[in-house]
Amino acid sequence: MAFRKFLPLFDRVLVERLAAETVTKGGIMLPEKSQGKVLQATVLAVGPGNRTKAGDLQPVSVKAGDRVLLPEYGGTKVTLDDKEYFLFRDGDILGKYLE
């Protein structure tokens, strides 16, 4: 997979958004336009982290495989092997879902 050959730098986190729900709970098909932006995503790769003022490396707080909740805005779209991923700063990710 493309991202395995891609290492985000510093405190960046490479994520893939989950597929949008195309059918409501009640079974009604959702037209694409009304499928809001998906805020749940899976972490694919993480950078080494940032350095504190004192120069120590501070690792990122999520790891590959984590399911996370993204903020509504922000992030950088990244295309790897024609597939669309996103890069977020560790500090901008709202939280993670515990198994």
- DSSP per-residue string spanning 25-81: TT-PBPPGGGSPPP-EEEEEEE---EEPTTS-EE--S--TT-EEE--SS--EEEEET
Q: Could you say which residues in the range 30-49 bind a copy of itself, by CB under 8 A? A: 47-48
**In this structure, which amino acid lies at residue 45?**
A
| Residue 27 binds a copy of itself, judged by CB under 8 A | no
Q: How far is the CB of 5 from a copy of itself (least distance, A)?
A: 5
Which of 16, 17, 42, 61 is close enough to bind a copy of itself by CB under 8 A? 61
- Select 16 or 78, whichever has its Cβ closest to a copy of itself: 78
